């Protein structure tokens, strides 16, 4: 109990940020009452679907998670900020923000949703606006900021690479209106890759190509966002509580950038699943990239553990970023049945960020 009180005091007195997404689909294995919300400063309910007429649909609303989270927050961590994370449905964002009437409907429904549920703001998880959307996207952010009038928080989850093919980001304008920018610094390598690679490497490795060094690691993403006009004090790096699998072309060639034949089965695994079923795999710490990987026979697995999430949390503090966020909190060893510590990844992140002056 004393430990929880100390955490609440840190969160209340500090501008540091630890965001966590609560995926409503994960409640099949994770009860809200099992979570230590004192480890977070912000919690995102994932998801609310944006429909093409500007209406909103709360996923799994019938389960009562929205109200349960609010009650649990008030009971255990009143200073926690609760936000709805809005997701794109059938390219609905693009259609809604291009039509004045639909956008007006969307804005009205957004404000009503927040008022009716006593939540603190919204997160736009639009994956991803295209080049033709960029002016409308900025206009939406401006309208939302005006509508919220400092009463509600406005955040967005964004691509790790700010300038990528047809992505519609005007970063200097976005940073004016967003309170926090959650950079999804993961999914750099996966089943789409021809070789093995880390899901979320903090730094490049010596075997990386020039492109990979410049774009496919956390450090590169942060500096690329800053380079194109983002305010670093609004940036949060993303930490995945899951890993990605690969099928090795040759089980005797099992290092970074070993040839692969695509993803393994399953393509991704939660940290809990990795701790539960892959403990007998050979584990390698990659010092260059500050992340681990595992392999056995033809299976190769990239993931994050307590050591790597601590390094990322330290990096966020060292670079004077706003903080970090995680996807998703239910993927941790919530009850500590495998690691001996409840929510070991999130606990490590919290302790790292709040112990660094």
Concatenating the DSSP letter of every residue in 169-232 gives: --HHHHHHH-SEEEE----SSSTTSSB---SS-SS--TT--HHHHHHSSHHHHHHHHHHTT--G
Position 2 scores a pLDDT of 35
pTM of the model: 0.95
Query: What does the CA dihedral 19, 307, 159, 249 come to, rounded to 10 degrees?
Result: -140
Position 28 scores a pLDDT of 67
The span from the CA of 275 to the CA of 294, in Å, is 11
Confidence band for 164, pLDDT divided at 50, 70 and 90 = confident
Sequence length of the chain is 357
Does 220 have pLDDT greater than 90? yes
Does 27 have pLDDT greater than 70? no
Name the nearest CA neighbour of 302 among 315, 289, 316. Answer: 289
Confidence band for 357, pLDDT divided at 50, 70 and 90 = low
Position 15 scores a pLDDT of 86
pLDDT (tens digit per residue) in 195-214: 999 999 999 999 999 999 99
On whether the CB atoms of residues 325 and 21 are closer than 8 A, the answer is yes
Position 235 scores a pLDDT of 99
pLDDT (tens digit per residue) in 251-265: 999 999 999 999 999
Lowest pLDDT segment from 6-15, 73-82, 146-155, 243-252: 6-15
Confidence band for 78, pLDDT divided at 50, 70 and 90 = very high
In the chain, alpha helices (H)? 2-13, 65-76, 92-98, 100-117, 134-148, 171-177, 210-215, 218-227, 271-277, 306-318, 344-355
Confidence band for 44, pLDDT divided at 50, 70 and 90 = very high
Question: Higher pLDDT residue, 6 or 339?
Answer: 339
pLDDT (tens digit per residue) in 273-305: 999 999 999 999 999 999 999 999 999 999 999
What domains does the chain contain, in order, with CATH numbers?
2-240+305-355 (3.20.20.80)
């Amino acid at each position: 109990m004393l430990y929880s009180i100390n955490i609440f005091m840190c969160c209340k007195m500090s501008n540091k940020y630890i965001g966590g997404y609560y995926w409503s689909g994960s409640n099949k294995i994770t009860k809200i009452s099992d979570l230590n919300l004192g480890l977070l400063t912000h919690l995102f309910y994932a998801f609310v679907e944006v429909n093409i007429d500007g209406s909103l649909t709360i996923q799994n609303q019938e389960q009562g998670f929205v109200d349960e989270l609010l009650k649990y927050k008030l009971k255990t961590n009143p200073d926690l900020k609760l936000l709805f994370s809005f997701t794109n449905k059938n390219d609905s964002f693009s259609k809604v923000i291009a039509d004045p009437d639909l956008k007006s409907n969307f804005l009205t429904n957004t404000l009503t949703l927040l008022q009716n549920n006593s939540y603190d703001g919204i997160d736009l998880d639009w994956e991803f606006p295209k080049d033709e959307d960029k002016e409308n996207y900025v206009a939406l952010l401006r309208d939302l900021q005006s509508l919220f009038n400092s009463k509600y928080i406005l955040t967005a989850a964004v691509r790790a690479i700010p300038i990528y093919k047809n992505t519609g980001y005007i970063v200097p304008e976005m940073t004016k209106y967003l309170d926090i920018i959650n950079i999804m610094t993961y999914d750099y390598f996966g089943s789409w890759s021809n070789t093995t690679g880390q899901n979320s490497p903090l730094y490049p490795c010596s075997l990386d190509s020039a492109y990979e060094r410049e774009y496919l690691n956390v450090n590169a993403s942060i500096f690329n966002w800053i380079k194109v006009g983002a305010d670093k004090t609004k940036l949060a790096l993303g930490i995945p509580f899951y890993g990605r699998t690969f099928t090795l072309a040759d089980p005797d060639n099992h290092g970074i950038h070993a040839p692969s034949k695509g993803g393994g089965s399953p393509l991704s695994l939660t940290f809990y699943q990795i701790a539960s079923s892959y403990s007998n795999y050979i584990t390698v710490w990659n010092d260059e990239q500050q992340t681990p990987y595992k392999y056995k026979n033809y299976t190769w697995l990239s993931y994050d553990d307590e050591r790597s999430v601590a390094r990322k949390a330290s990096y966020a503090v060292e670079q004077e970023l706003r903080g970090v966020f995680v996807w998703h909190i239910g993927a941790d060893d919530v009850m500590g049945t495998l690691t001996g510590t409840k929510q070991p990844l999130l606990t490590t992140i919290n302790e790292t960020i709040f112990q660094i002056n």
